[in-house]
Structure 1
Amino acid sequence: MLEELLIFTRGGLILWSSCRALGGAALLKGSPIDALIRSCLLEERSGDAGFTKDAYALKWAFNNDLGLVFVAVYQRMLHLLYVDDLLAAVRKEFSQIYNPKRVSYDDLFTETFRQLHLEAEARAEAMNKSKQQPTNPSSGSGAGRGPAGKKLGPNARAGGGAAGKKNSGSGKDDSDGDSGKEHNGGFTANGTVAKGGQENGAVKDSSRAARAVVVDNDGKENGDPNDGAFDVNTLRKKTGGKKGGGGGKKNDVKKAAKTEPKKVVKQMRVWDDKPPKNEKLDFTDPADERGEEVIEKVLTNQGDSMMDKDEDLSSDSEDEEDEEEENAGAGQKKKGWFSSMFKSIAGNNVLEKSDLQPALKALKDRLMTKNVAEEIAEKLCESVAASLEGKKLGSFTRISSTVQTAMEEALLRILTPRRSIDILRDVQAAKERGKPYVVVFVGVNGVGKSTNLAKVAYWLLQHNLSVMMAACDTFRSGAVEQLRTHARRLEIPIFEKGYEKDPAVVAKEAIQEATRNKSDVILVDTAGRMQDNEPLMRALSKLINLNKPDLVLFVGEALVGNDAVDQLNKFNQKLADLSTVPTARLIDGILLTKFDTIDDKVGAALSMVYISGSPVMFVGCGQSYTDLKKLNVKSIVKTLLK
């Protein structure tokens, strides 16, 4: 049974609802349509086949030219077969009566919908009955029988000819058997070797098929010798002899070895007349020798964090790039001037999926070269195709530029956070409640969790907040000492219990200590773990469920491509599966590290945001405490499409 069919504009105006028009009350639980809009339509997943929410399944259709959305909701256990047919019929009929100035169609479309619904149900029922009718056992499946149901002779096989022969013209079966000709030494339409009297699809000589040598029944080679076959005579000519062509090659190697010049040993360069005396090249923390002066220097001379600086995108280099792109675009316009102009002048062509495929294929390849996961690039292109299909191409507008603009808008929507996470504001709100703001850093091994935790601590200190660290990485050797070094240099307290302790209990005691000391923020460091490590993932889930942090930050590398999708999927899946509460706590935000090492390969940011739906809150771009900044969404989009 269809629960509801809703028609609304892309702006959110509901034009018609089956529950409202038919006099019933909407009994949908959990707001599945709102969930569809938030999780699918706004997140550029409109190319998906369907969406499920609790007990409901949803399907949708667009009229992109009019900006209309048609959504059908039904019980997911029913598997209604007529929903797609009904949506297509409703879209066709409603588009004919749609008037942008009208806001309600209850009296105009209700009777039409009743008729369309009945017709769709009747067609689905008739189709279902036809599938359930038993087949005539005497007719069989048609294999090995002639047109009149008689068995064919022993020589008549899958080919259906007089002696199982093939039609040599097109490679298709000749079922009448009067025009079949033997096709020795050729390939059929499905790519298998066709021999006289042999069944299609059974290639017995695999080595011959692999070398693409076609042999007839007499054992002789057919066809062109240059047609992919292996020619021994050609090889002998190239090696310089009929039988032993390798002798001359050895002599050539010896001559080359004799004439090879000696390697030049690189001399050490001396920059000054007098080399400097041996100095102590020790760049470790010198706090042990000089005490508090070094710590003071770290806090005062590091400068302001990049988090509080806004990047200026209007640089000269970018202006030059824009000019180059415009010139390239002008060149393309000249190249295909007649075809593109003819399309526009001939009339406003309605875009079809086949028209969009070449431009989408080029965009997908471009995204993958920028380190975007293949699965994400494919889904993005499908979503853009769904949003453009049916639109009318404007005058003097190319399809490639239309697709490029739609993709740019889609990327901006994805990378722009759905909800604003302002840490400074949330810290003040927690402070008013008398509780510390708890941030937990999670991620895989070696991505830089401890280092970037210290960068976040430095940024918070610059905003006059009291910060405390919690060393909950009780698994990796040296993790507590590493965090202790950062705490000493930043002059902030650290809570530690050593190694081989339960990290969830250590975090709980640290939060209690921060509450007693009235610390504003506590940063919890956890052990790095691979997404498939079951014991460590279980320990992480226990830590999060027991302590209920205000923010769970996933720390990931900007270098990864497809692995970013697997990491975030597995982390969220494990946190959901191992949760002891009905509403599992998942990842809230992302911190991307090593962002200064990737040049224009910025696709990991897009892959992570698309998979998790969580925003990139911090970007690590160096090794000092100030090297932490915000993600510039416009710059990322421009780099991805460049």
Structure 2
Amino acid sequence: MLEQLLIFTRGGLILWTCNELGNALRGSPIDTLIRSCLLEERSGAASYNYDAPGAAYTLKWTFHNELGLVFVAVYQKILHLLYVDDLLAMVKREFSEIYDPTRTVYDDFDDIFRQLKKEAEARAEEMKKSKQISKPVNNLAKKQGQVQKSSTGGIARKGDSESGSDGADDENLKVKKIENGYTNGNHVGVDKLPPVVNGKKDESPNNGAFNVNKLQKLRQKGSKKIDTVPKKSSIIEPNKKVTKKNRVWDDSPKEKKLDFTDPMTENGNESITVVEVDQGESSMMDKEETFSSDSESEEEEEPGKENKAGTKKTGWFSSMFQSIAGKASLDKADLEPALKALKDRLMTKNVAEEIAEKLCESVAISLEGKKLGSFTRISSTVQVAMEEALVRILTPKRSIDILREVHAAKEHRKPYVVVFVGVNGVGKSTNLAKVAYWLLQHDIKVMMAACDTFRSGAVEQLRTHARRLQIPIFEKGYEKDPAIVAKEAIQEATHNGSDVVLVDTAGRMQDNEPLMRALSKLINLNSPDLVLFVGEALVGNDAVDQLSKFNQKLADLSASPNPRLIDGILLTKFDTIDDKVGAALSMVYVSGAPVMFVGCGQSYTDMKKLNVKSIVKTLLK
């Protein structure tokens, strides 16, 4: 059952909602959809699943880009409503006809919606019944198609013995069709079956592909009778490959017309491999000629006529004007070339292929149906739309001001805890020291917690950084429970008056179950204020796998209904990638967490904040 259907503007003004359903939604699925999907350029997805305590919904939506309207349908996740997509399309069509930007109330749309809902449900029910009926019919056809050997050694259709007596009295059943031909109601052998050519029975005495005797008789009557020979592909042997005669180009061609479908060859012999080419159909040679140079294609095809592919061929000025002039509305076919070029460009900048494809789908949906301004190129329109989408994705959805939050925690007399997580070898300990140095520059007391009790040399490495920065470090050695070590470090920081505790953890691959379980325990036990994922700027497609599995493991292994996931990203080795900054986009798109810092060198001062506009410009240049 449909729970809710809403129509609202892109600005957030609700224009209409179906009052007759009377179902109050639990939680806030619409707000979550807007915040987690539409604003983050995930509108190319087919649906969105909302899971909350006591509520599990599936949301589907569609846009009217020209009017700036959003149509959202909400129903229970356990249900599979077949009519929702059809209903949304009909509601979009009908509501767009009565929409007025000056109106805010549409009570008259209730009756229209009831009728549309009935039509969509009836159509879905008919489709469901047709599918159920088609299955038994297909099974029956398979059973009827089976043949069995009769007692006389022939082949008969299964069931003929049961219906044979009744069928003898009916003239319609005197001729029964079987797999290899027709019978007259009696059992016949396979070798006695007449040949079938293109689904029709060949009654000629010769079992070949065509009647040679008939052709010889026609030849004896005269050359005029030859024209009555059918020029059909049915006279071709099924197993014989069709060959084409090579053309001979010379100054004095022997033939006045280039008609190679004549059944007679030059020497008077009959041509067995006769092929009739339907008008408008392209042969293999025509398809190959399509890939010729532009100059050849312009000479061969006249403007305004249909080319080999069946599309209208326009002149140079017409095609140029069409690419820049305004159209009634943009459709997907218009956007595909520009989006494909944009996708390739993003992938060359190290953006994961999956992310680039989803971004292009989202941009296509946001532009489809919009009117293009006069003398505006489609490519520039797509470029602007993609630039806006990238800015929305990379801009943090919530402000994470570490300095402000540190001072707020200090007022409550508790330390601000930051946990650094990530895979092996990305530079967690080094960038932890960079963050510590940055905090020291703002007169904040920092303490390190050596919770990497797994890797040999991890404690000594962190101890070296602490000595250089002249800050305290809490350590318990190796082979200890990192969750307990972090808890004791937080208690120690509370006693000695430290403002921030930076927790170093062991590097772990996203598929390492024991280490991921230990990390989940550390986060759940200590409830840190910030969980930073440290990742390399060098990774491409692997960034999607790393972040998605880290978040998935933290969610699965958490006992809390609201599990703690990754809050921010720290990208390392940013100075080694030149303009291939796509990993930043991939990580933000997958996790929804902002890139807070980027490491760009070996010293403590080589850490900066991400410039969103600079990254977007680099991705699209």
Which whole-Å CA distance do the structure 2 matches of 1:506 and 1:164 have between them?
Answer: 89
Other structure's SS at 1:499 match: coil
Name the residue aligned to 2:565.
586
Q: Determine whether 1:51 maps to 2:51.
A: no
Other structure's SS at 1:56 match: strand
Deviation at 1:581, TM superposition (A): 1.6
Which whole-Å CA distance do the structure 1 matches of 2:176 and 2:390 have between them?
Answer: 60
Deviation at 1:360, TM superposition (A): 0.5
Q: Determine whether 1:68 maps to 2:69.
A: yes
Structure-to-structure mapping, 1:13-412, within 5 angstroms = 13-19=13-19, 22=20, 25-54=22-51, 55-106=56-107, 108-133=108-133, 134-135=136-137, 139-140=141-142, 149-153=177-181, 178-185=234-241, 338-342=318-322, 345=325, 348-412=327-391
Conserved 8 A contact 2:197-2:234: no
Q: Deviations over 1:169-201 (max 9, x none)?
A: xxxxxxx995553353479xxxxxxxxxxxxxx
Deviation at 1:582, TM superposition (A): 1.6
Which whole-Å CA distance do the structure 1 matches of 2:16 and 2:589 have between them?
Answer: 31
Structure-to-structure mapping, 1:515-554, within 5 angstroms = 515-554=494-533
Deviation at 1:341, TM superposition (A): 2.4
In structure 2, the CA distance between the partners of 1:414 and 1:149, relative to structure 1 (3 Å rule), is: farther
Which whole-Å CA distance do the structure 2 matches of 1:637 and 1:453 have between them?
Answer: 27
Q: Deviations over 1:289-323 (max 9, x none)?
A: xxxxxxxxxxxxxxxxxxxxxxxxxxxxxxxxxxx
Conserved 8 A contact 1:465-1:521: yes
Percent of paired sites with the same residue: 75
TM-score (norm 2): 0.74
Conserved 8 A contact 1:139-1:149: no
Conserved 8 A contact 1:165-1:183: no
In structure 2, the CA distance between the partners of 1:536 and 1:343, relative to structure 1 (3 Å rule), is: closer
Conserved 8 A contact 1:576-1:586: yes
Name the residue aligned to 1:446.
425
Q: Deviations over 1:453-511 (max 9, x none)?
A: 00000010011010000011111111111111111111100001111111111111100
Which whole-Å CA distance do the structure 2 matches of 1:356 and 1:451 have between them?
Answer: 45
Name the residue aligned to 2:490.
511
Conserved 8 A contact 1:619-1:630: yes
Conserved 8 A contact 1:551-1:589: yes
Deviation at 1:50, TM superposition (A): 0.7
Deviation at 1:84, TM superposition (A): 0.8
RMSD (Å) for aligned C-alpha atoms: 2.6
Q: Determine whether 1:421 maps to 2:400.
A: yes
Conserved 8 A contact 2:6-2:14: yes
Conserved 8 A contact 2:418-2:531: yes
Structure 1 unaligned blocks of 5 or more: 167-175, 188-334
Q: Which residue identity lines up with residue 439 of structure 2 in the other structure?
A: L
Deviation at 1:152, TM superposition (A): 1.6
Name the residue aligned to 2:186.
none
Which whole-Å CA distance do the structure 1 matches of 2:490 and 2:361 have between them?
Answer: 46
| Aligned counterpart for 2:434 among listed residues 455, 463, 480 | 455
Q: Which residue identity lines up with residue 7 of structure 2 in the other structure?
A: I
Deviation at 1:120, TM superposition (A): 0.9
In structure 2, the CA distance between the partners of 1:91 and 1:475, relative to structure 1 (3 Å rule), is: same
Other structure's SS at 1:568 match: helix
Name the residue aligned to 1:472.
451
In structure 2, the CA distance between the partners of 1:137 and 1:615, relative to structure 1 (3 Å rule), is: closer
Structure 2 unaligned blocks of 5 or more: 148-156, 158-174, 182-189, 211-231, 244-314
Deviation at 1:165, TM superposition (A): 8.0
Deviation at 1:142, TM superposition (A): 8.6
Which whole-Å CA distance do the structure 1 matches of 2:331 and 2:401 have between them?
Answer: 43
Which whole-Å CA distance do the structure 1 matches of 2:100 and 2:112 have between them?
Answer: 16
Q: Which residue identity lines up with residue 69 of structure 1 in the other structure?
A: V
Name the residue aligned to 1:640.
619
In structure 2, the CA distance between the partners of 1:342 and 1:473, relative to structure 1 (3 Å rule), is: closer
Which whole-Å CA distance do the structure 2 matches of 1:136 and 1:429 have between them?
Answer: 70
Which whole-Å CA distance do the structure 2 matches of 1:61 and 1:26 have between them?
Answer: 21
Other structure's SS at 2:137 match: coil
Q: Deviations over 1:431-457 (max 9, x none)?
A: 011100000000011100011000000
| Aligned counterpart for 1:571 among listed residues 530, 550, 553 | 550
Q: Determine whether 1:605 maps to 2:574.
A: no
Q: How many residues align?
A: 481
TM-score (norm 1): 0.71
Other structure's SS at 2:178 match: coil
Conserved 8 A contact 2:197-2:209: no
